[in-house]
Amino acid sequence: MARAKIDYQLIERGWKVPHLGNDKTVYILGLFGSGRHYLNELMLQRIGERAQYFRDCSFHFRFHPGPTSMIYSGHATMKYHSWGHRLPAVTARIVEAVKARYADLIFIYRHPLDSLLTNWIWLRTFGRDQRMIGGISQLYKNTDDLCAALDENFLEFQAFAEGDPEFFAVLPPPRFMSFSEFVEELELFLSAATLTLRIEDCVSDPSKEFLKIAKLMALDVDLSLAAISSPKTEAYRFLQVKAKVPRFRDFIDGLSQETKNRIEKIGYTLD
């Protein structure tokens, strides 16, 4: 983090941003609860010398008027203002750079209902205890414990999913996006990204997914050095929760048809 701050100060003072060969600036973006940290770790372990230009910086994206060797990773939105994400105006500049072909946007995502559960747990823990967690498994040993917590606090969960400002009163504005807004953001990113990666595919075949990154960035990688690890997450956990918590099942059934259609359009089902 200290090195990153120093580099940003140098850039502000006119330090020449590195650009080696035919590199393009790479932006690794994801909405909250998407698996972006897994991709960050994978990149740092596997991209060789290019890793020295990697910056995990949700609130400090740099926009460059031409190609660079920099790699920026963070949260951003394309349409809605949302707590913990860079503003749509920033994302719009990144998309312009992608269209001009001097930047690439890698977007990682997962089933939005899995993201919803993760985000509810993360934000309620941060809001109440000012504590950041790595995922659901850090608080709950198994899905049964998660289901018990959801059933006991379902009205709170529903308020979160609906973007109720009262849920986010303990956080600085803006509020976190509602679930329907989250799904719409997913759809927008999928149409704008250079490369899209599903966390579920990374679970089933991480080497295949990493090769997509290597090809995009023209990286010379040796996959035989060590096995590429899968994400430490459970894919499609929402299905177990749906089976055990009737009110969560009713919540899914009660989603607007527009949201259901968007979920299907991005390649997922609700059962």
Backbone phi, then psi, for 54, in 5-degree steps? Answer: -85, 135
User: Is residue 124 located within the same domain as residue 9?
Assistant: no
**Cα separation of 50 and 220, whole Å?**
11
Q: Please report whether residue 136 resides in a domain.
A: yes
Element (H, E) at 73: strand 71-74
User: Is residue 59 located within the same domain as residue 141?
Assistant: no
**What is the DSSP secondary structure assignment for residue 141, as one 8-state letter?**
S
Show the domain range for 188.
Answer: 2-111+178-216
User: Is residue 99 located within the same domain as residue 124?
Assistant: no
**Cα separation of 111 and 79, whole Å?**
20
Q: Residue 103: which of 28, 5, 18 has the closest Cα?
A: 28
Provide the domain count of the chain: 2
User: Is residue 30 located within the same domain as residue 143?
Assistant: no
User: Is residue 162 located within the same domain as residue 208?
Assistant: no
Q: Please report whether residue 153 resides in a domain.
A: yes
Written as tens digits, the pLDDT of the chain (271 aa) is: 344 444 444 444 445 788 999 999 999 999 999 989 999 998 898 888 899 999 998 666 778 889 999 999 999 999 999 999 999 999 999 999 999 999 999 999 999 999 999 999 999 998 776 777 677 777 788 999 999 999 999 999 999 999 999 898 888 899 999 999 999 999 999 999 999 999 999 999 999 999 999 999 998 876 665 678 899 888 999 999 999 999 999 999 999 999 999 999 999 999 9
User: Is residue 138 located within the same domain as residue 250?
Assistant: yes
C-alpha distance from residue 15 to each of 10, 12, 53, 58, 97 (Å) = 5, 7, 14, 22, 21
At 73, which CATH number?
3.40.50
User: Is residue 119 located within the same domain as residue 249?
Assistant: yes
User: Is residue 95 located within the same domain as residue 190?
Assistant: yes
Q: Please report whether residue 227 resides in a domain.
A: no
User: Is residue 153 located within the same domain as residue 255?
Assistant: yes
Q: Residue 263: which of 35, 111, 80 has the closest Cα?
A: 111
User: Is residue 204 located within the same domain as residue 256?
Assistant: no
